[in-house]
Structure 1
Amino acid sequence: MDKLMNTPWFIKIVALSLAALLYISVNFDPDSSYAGLGFSTPAKIDTEVVEDVPVELYYDRENLVVTGAPETVDVSLKGPKSLLLSAKNNRDFKVYIDLSDPEIELGRKQVPIKIRDINDKLKVTIEPAYANVSIQEKITKEFTVEPEFNRSLLEEGYIAEEPIVHPQKVKITGAKDIIETISYVKATVELNGPVNDTVYRQAMVRALDREFNKLDVLIEPSVVDVKVPIKSPSKTVSVNPVQKGTPKEGIKIKSIHVEPKEVSLFGKKSILDSIEKLEVPFDVSEISNTTEVTIPLKLPEGIKAASAEEVRIVVEIEKEKENETDDQKDAQQDDQEQDVSKEKSVTKTFSNIKIIFVGLLQGYQLDFVSPKQGAADVTISGKSEDINHIKASDLQLSINVEGLEEGEHVVPLQLKTPTAVKGSVGVNKALINITKASEET
């Protein structure tokens, strides 16, 4: 036996047998009627469909835009089952459209859809087999962005100013014929109503044609910052002092002066429309001499703020001369002395004194809502020799906005005058709006 195994022919026969067994195992088909007999047969031919295969597009992306190519196709494969299963499961083949020819002509073309990296023993059918594509020159153009929002979401009594967008312009890249159809470039702000304060949002930019269809283009930047200033309506009304009570016996009201004569009210428009004047009641039953009183303003319901929180009322009286008692004569003499003293005091009004502000945070800007133009009238009183030497530059009207952030704020006015005189301002508060300064400013 050992001698037989050592012979060359024995080794050749064993090697041939092993090769035959290996061939049979590879090509074995259990469905074959010959399999049970031990005969090897050719591999069975089958068909598989691979759906939604991505289509790769090869072209000069720096200078051209190609549209119309399908994103996916279905690939039908026919061949040996073992090869089909491998191709279907691994998807190691590529489906593509080749438009990389540098001399390719522009316009609409029908081009074949090809496949690579597929076993040669498989028969391939691609559906669709061809694609109708449009090859256009790629161009970039700058457009101005139009911000927009739904104004119906504003809370009753509030108004919106024109939205502010940053950056104001964007670059849009696409096929030349598509770029030429752009009619609108919009950034729509998404709001959840009701809205009663300034809105800061980021918004997606869309390029639209004249029928408001969205266009397939590249927008840079695709997102912009939008600010929608929301303000409460205002109305300027006169201040009307209303006398309450009856003057004392022998006292006659000569005149009534109020300062300021007008105030700005802020609130719902429907409320403002119903207000023609602001009445300020004051009691005259205890007045014996010319009197100056400060009265807080009582705002109507629905009015959230006013340009002044209080008004100054000066009531001038005169006393009747009939049946004067000694005490009345003494009082009259005191009044006359006061009048003489008052004659020595004079007043002077300076119009449109600019209001300066201090403490504004870096990167923010301030605008005056009221008083408009950021200026107010200042009245000073004192001796004539002191008043005559005072100029507008000697007066300082200011507000302190330290620590205030974005939004509307009501802040008190501060007046500095030379020590020899007294001063008063037509309004004692200012309504301001603080916003972030744009990079351009």
Structure 2
Amino acid sequence: MMEKFFRSNNFIKIIAFLLAVSLWLFVSGENAVSPAVERHTFTNIPLNVRNLGDNLVVVDMPDSITLTLQGASDAIAGLTPADLEVYVDLRGKDEGRHRIKVNGEPPPGVTIVNFSPSRVEVEIEELIAQQMAVQPRIIGSPADGLTVGEPLFTPEQVFVKGAASVMEQVEKIVFTVNVQGYARDIETRLPLAALDASGRTLDGLSISPSFAEVKIPIGYPSKEVQVEPVFVGEPAEGYLLQDFEVRPSHITISGTESILAGIDVLFTEEIDIEDFTDGFTVDVPIVLPPRVELDGEPYVSVKVAIVPE
């Protein structure tokens, strides 16, 4: 009887049913544990450098590449270029041009399908460091009648570092101040730049410090003039004014150009030597013309020598 059952259509139907159920359970299980897999291509992924030798610098290399990843949808979703690391390994590479394989480190749950390009041209040069003086670069003109004084700034020396081919073009390190229309001193913090012989800014250099603290005096023109003492009276009978010495003998004044053009000497207030029999030293105020300013103390020291005839 059992043999008859195994050979019957009912047995075959039961076996077919069980196989169908097993297949359905298998497929359902696969779908439950195997999330969807997808590929995604990211463009403009920054290309980094690893293991570059001391005193070397990369002067030419692609900034970015294209990267294709494969992985579960939930692993790829939300990835940005900032999450992706691609690089060239320059261990053991010297100066010159090299063709280097691109490497990468994929995020967890993701594999790298390909890089585009998979190899890049990299040019390496010697890294040069040099100490250089800072120079002011003044552009524009201050308000009418005013001039630019001697700039004051720190630092006066900086360290400049860069590729040998760029460093050999450096003519000077400058900060640039535009004084157009200014009627008062300028105090500011300005970036430093490297210029070539034609005055063009050179890129790809490190300047340390990279900023200068600057003070630019703005004022009237100045001029150095002599100071002469004015004596009144006469020494006592039998004595005479033999000599005198003025300290300082010259002073700096400022004013409009038209006023300064007519001044070559300034005088002191009167020094009375009436009936003197001995020499003396006295501080005497300087007489300033209208609209003239004095740089320094408003007086001079006058040493007077009075001797017998």
Quote the RMSD (CA, aligned, Å). 4.4
> Does residue 124 of the first structure (1) align with residue 109 of the second (2)?
no
- In the alignment, the residues of structure 1 paired with residue 57 and residue 213 of structure 2 have an alpha-carbon distance, to the nearest angstrom, of 29
Q: 1:123 to 1:145 in 2, by over 3 A?
A: closer
Residue of structure 2 equivalent to 1:94: 85
Residue of structure 1 equivalent to 2:65: 73
Q: Give the alignment of 1:278-357 within 5 angstroms.
A: 348=241, 351-354=244-247
Q: Secondary structure at the match of 1:52?
A: strand
Residues matched between the structures, number: 261
Shift of 1:154: 0.8
- In the alignment, the residues of structure 2 paired with residue 72 and residue 27 of structure 1 have an alpha-carbon distance, to the nearest angstrom, of 33
Residues 252-297 of structure 1, C-alpha deviation per residue, up to 9 Å, x if partnerless? xxxxxxx999xxxxxxxxxxxxxxxxxxxxxxxxxxxxxxxxxxxx
Residue of structure 2 equivalent to 1:167: 155
Residue of structure 1 equivalent to 2:168: 180
- In the alignment, the residues of structure 2 paired with residue 189 and residue 128 of structure 1 have an alpha-carbon distance, to the nearest angstrom, of 45
Shift of 1:106: 1.0
The one-letter amino acid paired with 2:142 is L
Q: Secondary structure at the match of 1:369?
A: strand
> Which of 127, 152, 157 is the matching residue for 1:138?
127
Shift of 1:68: 2.0
Q: Give the alignment of 1:109-120 within 5 angstroms.
A: 109-117=98-106
Shift of 1:370: 3.2
Contact 1:148 1:163 survives alignment (8 Å): no
> Which of 188, 197, 209 is the matching residue for 2:184?
197
Residues 399-438 of structure 1, C-alpha deviation per residue, up to 9 Å, x if partnerless? 9xxxxxxx976864387999xxxxxxxxxxxxxxxxxxxx
Residues 7-64 of structure 1, C-alpha deviation per residue, up to 9 Å, x if partnerless? xxxxxxxxx9988644232347xxxxxxxxxxxxxx56x4311233232211336421
**Percentage of matched positions with identical amino acids:** 22
Contact 1:351 1:378 survives alignment (8 Å): no
Q: Give the alignment of 1:240-251 within 5 angstroms.
A: none
Residue of structure 2 equivalent to 1:390: 279
- In the alignment, the residues of structure 2 paired with residue 349 and residue 62 of structure 1 have an alpha-carbon distance, to the nearest angstrom, of 75
Q: 5+ residue gaps in structure 2?
A: 1-22, 255-262, 287-292, 305-309
Shift of 1:195: 1.6
- In the alignment, the residues of structure 1 paired with residue 223 and residue 163 of structure 2 have an alpha-carbon distance, to the nearest angstrom, of 53
- In the alignment, the residues of structure 2 paired with residue 172 and residue 236 of structure 1 have an alpha-carbon distance, to the nearest angstrom, of 39
Q: 1:124 to 1:170 in 2, by over 3 A?
A: same
Q: 1:347 to 1:179 in 2, by over 3 A?
A: same
The one-letter amino acid paired with 1:71 is D
Residue of structure 2 equivalent to 1:24: 31
Residue of structure 2 equivalent to 1:49: 41
Contact 2:229 2:271 survives alignment (8 Å): no
Contact 1:183 1:208 survives alignment (8 Å): yes
Contact 2:170 2:195 survives alignment (8 Å): yes
Residue of structure 1 equivalent to 2:219: 231
- In the alignment, the residues of structure 2 paired with residue 68 and residue 88 of structure 1 have an alpha-carbon distance, to the nearest angstrom, of 33
Q: Give the alignment of 1:398-417 within 5 angstroms.
A: 412-413=298-299
- In the alignment, the residues of structure 2 paired with residue 414 and residue 209 of structure 1 have an alpha-carbon distance, to the nearest angstrom, of 48
The one-letter amino acid paired with 2:299 is L
Shift of 1:343: 9.2
- In the alignment, the residues of structure 1 paired with residue 222 and residue 153 of structure 2 have an alpha-carbon distance, to the nearest angstrom, of 26
Residues 220-243 of structure 1, C-alpha deviation per residue, up to 9 Å, x if partnerless? 111112332333135799xxxxxx
Q: Secondary structure at the match of 1:181?
A: coil
Contact 2:151 2:215 survives alignment (8 Å): yes
User: Which of the two has higher C-alpha Rg?
Assistant: 1
Residue of structure 2 equivalent to 1:252: none
Shift of 1:397: 4.7
- In the alignment, the residues of structure 1 paired with residue 248 and residue 43 of structure 2 have an alpha-carbon distance, to the nearest angstrom, of 73
- In the alignment, the residues of structure 2 paired with residue 73 and residue 198 of structure 1 have an alpha-carbon distance, to the nearest angstrom, of 50
- In the alignment, the residues of structure 2 paired with residue 121 and residue 199 of structure 1 have an alpha-carbon distance, to the nearest angstrom, of 57
Q: Secondary structure at the match of 1:177?
A: helix
Contact 2:189 2:212 survives alignment (8 Å): yes
- In the alignment, the residues of structure 2 paired with residue 224 and residue 105 of structure 1 have an alpha-carbon distance, to the nearest angstrom, of 35
Q: Secondary structure at the match of 2:48?
A: strand
Residue of structure 1 equivalent to 2:20: none
The one-letter amino acid paired with 1:97 is V
Residues 330-353 of structure 1, C-alpha deviation per residue, up to 9 Å, x if partnerless? xxxxxxxxxxx9896998596552
Residues 60-81 of structure 1, C-alpha deviation per residue, up to 9 Å, x if partnerless? 364211122333322123x45x
Residue of structure 2 equivalent to 1:380: 271
Greater share of strand: 2
Contact 1:350 1:377 survives alignment (8 Å): no
Q: 5+ residue gaps in structure 1?
A: 1-15, 29-42, 238-258, 262-313, 315-340, 357-366, 400-406, 419-441
Structure with bigger RCO (C-alpha 8 Å, 6+ apart): 2
- In the alignment, the residues of structure 2 paired with residue 51 and residue 135 of structure 1 have an alpha-carbon distance, to the nearest angstrom, of 25
Residues 118-141 of structure 1, C-alpha deviation per residue, up to 9 Å, x if partnerless? 579745222333322221121211
The one-letter amino acid paired with 1:23 is E
